[in-house]
Amino acid sequence: MIQPNLARKPRIVVIGGGTGLSVMLRGLKQKPLDITAIVTVADDGGSSGILREELQIPPPGDIRNVLSALADTEPLLAEVLKYRFSNGTGLAGHSLGNLILAAMTDITGDFVTGVTELSRIFAVRGRVLPAANQAIVLKAEMEDGSIVVGESTIPKSGLAIRKVFLEPADVEALPEAVQALREADAILIGPGSLYTSIIPNLIVPKLAEAIIQSDAVKLFVCNVMTQPGETDNYSVSDHLAAVHAHIGHHLFDYVIVNDGEIPPQVQSLYAEQGSTAVHLDLDEVTKRGYKVIADTLVLFRTYLRHDAAKLSDHIYHLVEDWMLRKG
């Protein structure tokens, strides 16, 4: 007999930014889930940074990546969105998808409306929402007390991060994002750059409040590798401690981590960039009250990436079980 609350698709809200989020969403969109992706608007580097500065719009890059991941279109169309001009005065370095989003913002008169209309054009499975309808400046206080300004600058400072914060501090969360969190059956955070993609969403005041108050199952997908300049030598518990320090709450029910072996030659490649495998300190994580789902969750092609199919299987089963228990 089908439980009443499984007669509909579970509503899952995914929060983050960057490549890791897009990889995971490609797996999740194959599941019977009602997906809403809330994406950071703190990016200030590359094409996104230029468009943000010149056109006074939220940075489109992470939004464009997520739209591409969730789009139900021909592969060639996804390639068009990702296409980056390699030359041309004023064009070199720009992603075509970023320019299309900038154009849609101008045509519709609003960034969120532009994203919504582009989602319809590209037959996106789910909703893609910026965390706020304005660009946010991300700042970091480093271990020596100095302040570094800018999402793209923070990892290059050479100092450990003590905390990150937003300007303006009272940035208004997108109402649709807050509503999605209130209605969610599951809230999924990560993977992605801890201090520059994940935490910037969580410290938008009304988003944090909605997550804390929600009775959804809350899942954290931990990164496979450390990120130079952000999470050097971090263990799984260090990632969780950083979130707790910023939010002040025990946020997650489950932590999903990779415990599969990473081949030595792959570790060597990453070590050259200052990156190592995130250590699963299982006793410490469970001692803090988190339930751990550990599995071999990585694939290596050109880069190490989460195995989207296996990861989405774990996520879907956790969400399904949670809804059955809730009755």
Last residue within a domain, chosen from 92, 123, 154: 123
Q: What residue numbers bound the domain in which 87 lies? A: 45-123
Strands 137-142 and 147-149: antiparallel
Confidence of residue 59 (pLDDT cuts 50, 70, 90): confident
Predicted confidence (pLDDT) per residue in 176-199, tens digit: 999 999 999 999 998 999 999 999
Predicted confidence (pLDDT) per residue in 198-240, tens digit: 999 999 989 989 999 999 999 999 999 999 999 999 999 999 9
- Is residue 114 located within the same domain as residue 234? no
- Residue 198, Cβ density class (10 Å: 0-12 exposed, 13-18 middle, ≥19 buried): buried
Q: Give me the residue label for tokens 């300049």.
A: 229
Contact 202, 246 (CB under 8 A): yes
Last residue within a domain, chosen from 98, 123, 148: 123
**133: helix, coil or strand?**
coil
**312: helix, coil or strand?**
helix
- Is residue 3 located within the same domain as residue 115? no
Q: In Å, how far are 56, 226, 264 from 267, measured between CA atoms?
A: 41, 11, 5
Q: Has residue 68 been placed in a domain? A: yes
Confidence of residue 87 (pLDDT cuts 50, 70, 90): confident
Domain count, the chain: 2
- Is residue 22 located within the same domain as residue 49? no
Beta bridge partners of 37: 14, 128
- Is residue 56 located within the same domain as residue 197? no
Predicted confidence (pLDDT) per residue in 3-39, tens digit: 444 668 999 999 987 788 888 999 999 999 999 999 9
Q: Has residue 218 been placed in a domain? A: yes
- Is residue 190 located within the same domain as residue 302? yes
- Residue 273, Cβ density class (10 Å: 0-12 exposed, 13-18 middle, ≥19 buried): exposed
The CATH number covering residue 198 comes to 3.40.50.10680
For 149, the token pair is 């300004």
Query: Which pLDDT value is given to residue 88?
Result: 77
- Is residue 229 located within the same domain as residue 279? yes
- Is residue 229 located within the same domain as residue 317? yes
Contact 138, 166 (CB under 8 A): yes
Contact 230, 193 (CB under 8 A): yes
